[in-house]
Amino acid sequence: MNQNKSYFVQSFTIFAVSIAAFLVFKSVLPKKLFSESTVDSKNVVIDSLLLEALEEDKNATDGDTLSNQPISFTAVDGITFPDEKYEDYKGFQHLVQFYEKLFQLETKHEGNVRIAYFGDSMTDGDMIVQDFRSNFQNKFGGQGVGFVNITSESAASRNSIKHEFSGNWKTQSYLNVKKPRSPFGVNGHVFFANDTANVEWVKYKASKLQHLSELYNPTLFYGKSNNKSGKVAFKVGNDTIYKKLSPNKLVNTLVVGNTTKSLKLDFINADSIPVYGMNFDDGKGVHVDNFSNRGNSGLPISTFNAQVMRQFHEKLGYDLIVLHYGTNVLNYGSLNYTWYEKRMKRVVDHLKECFPGVAILVVSTADKATKYDMEMKTDSAVVPLTKAQKKYAIQAQAGYVNLYTLMGGDGAIVKWVEEVPAAANKDYTHFNYRGAKKISGMIYDQVYSGYEQFKRLRANRKQAKPVVKIDSVSIKTDSVHVE
């Protein structure tokens, strides 16, 4: 009995000392400890250009001049959006040409509109983007999932298409390869069927979601090579069809059969031919391509080969490029993101060179929480990063969506995690499908509100009549109202 009492006293003493030690050390520990993350670290990839930028610009200074002045716009096609305050900047003016394409589609049912949506793990597995696509297709028409990679790390979690592939593909990504064997495709990847002993294959199956129930006009995109003997094989009914690959241009296309529910391609003698992916769309309405990469900061886009991108642009015809980044840029020991602002401004400039005439929309980082004094709160880096993203959007003449404020601002992600049913995961960073749908709706609603404003401005715009010459005398006619 005495022995048991002695053990109890010793245990209680150890417990009391531990509590006292914790209280002493708590005062000297940093307030910010760690985020509650359930993300598998093996799936977290940080692009090499981000790491280089951090090393080169760790002493960058912030010379803020934008927040103290109103933002005025130059008319495009006779349309000028009202001046904006820095705090409320949306930049709809820079989406005018995109809005005009939507207007023609809506009123005359002519042409089609295409959007490239670049993102990180927030859009992995077509999260956010599949609902963004659906919103546009519900309003403006369009069938098909768009461009899909040959291989994908998120294929198993994607609901908008079933995607399988053999394990012997050679993949190069712009996240970690500076000098690929052949230029990267518009998806930031290039794939090679270099296993000559075995056939490489890829298989796609349409989902049951609205607008995505067929693989519309399946078209293979591939690059240039000296290999003239490559071909693909696929089945139509009980017949096997063989089609030759002709890798003569920087970007080549091959229509693979007709619209179907499922498709499996075998690549035969195709080694050294760069393969980019498949496109599925009906050529009408709106199409949205999801180019997501885990660990991407957005900086690798600067490595795109302009000539190759222009050929992709000729074939696909983009009208809007969305840049949705930030998750992988937070938390690198500094709240000064001037280095990121400068580099992403150059990324947008490069995109305008690669895709002439395309509008750009910047979507900011969402809210993210970290543990401070044992309580989950908005990370201190979130607001400084959103400001840097807004600054580069303004400087690069791009539209801007502040996802952090749309979510509810300070502490929003904590509410999204703890509400019932939850809209975000326990890592206090990523959204579940319910939250992704809400986020998609917020982004779409802001873009569409700009479109509604565009239509009002368009209806009331004035354009000068052309100068008329009579007997060598120039007569300038009055301005006229244009419907």
Is the separation of the CB atoms in 175 and 48 below 8 Å? yes
User: What's the CATH code, domain 143-282?
Assistant: 2.60.120.1360
Domain with CATH 2.60.120.1360 in the chain: 143-282
Q: What's the topology of domain 46-58+67-142+285-461?
A: Rossmann fold (3.40.50)
In 3D space, the residue among 220, 262, 224 whose CA is nearest the CA of residue 243 turns out to be 220
Mean of pLDDT values over 288-297: 95
Cα–Cα distance for residue pair 349/306, rounded to 1 Å: 11
∠ CA 297-173-165 to the nearest 5 degrees?
Answer: 120
Q: What is the pLDDT of residue 59?
A: 58
Q: What is the pLDDT of residue 333?
A: 61
Q: What is the pLDDT of residue 53?
A: 64
User: For residue 178, what are the CA distances in angstroms to 300, 323, 345, 420?
Assistant: 9, 21, 20, 45
Sole residue written with tokens 């022995």: 3
Cα–Cα distance for residue pair 191/170, rounded to 1 Å: 6
Is the separation of the CB atoms in 210 and 165 below 8 Å? no
Q: Which two tokens stand for residue 468?
A: 């008329």
Whether residue 171 has pLDDT greater than 50: yes
418-438 pLDDT tens trace: 999 999 999 999 999 999 999
131-169 pLDDT tens trace: 999 999 999 999 999 999 999 999 999 999 999 999 999
Whether residue 36 has pLDDT greater than 50: no
Q: What is the pLDDT of residue 458?
A: 97
Lowest-pLDDT range, 38-52, 110-124, 263-277, 298-312? 38-52
304-362 pLDDT tens trace: 999 999 999 999 999 999 999 999 998 766 789 999 999 999 999 999 999 999 999 99
210-240 pLDDT tens trace: 999 999 999 999 999 999 999 999 998 889 9
Whether residue 287 has pLDDT greater than 90: yes
DSSP-derived pairing of the beta strands 359-363 and 399-401? parallel
Domain with CATH 3.40.50.1110 in the chain: 46-58+67-142+285-461
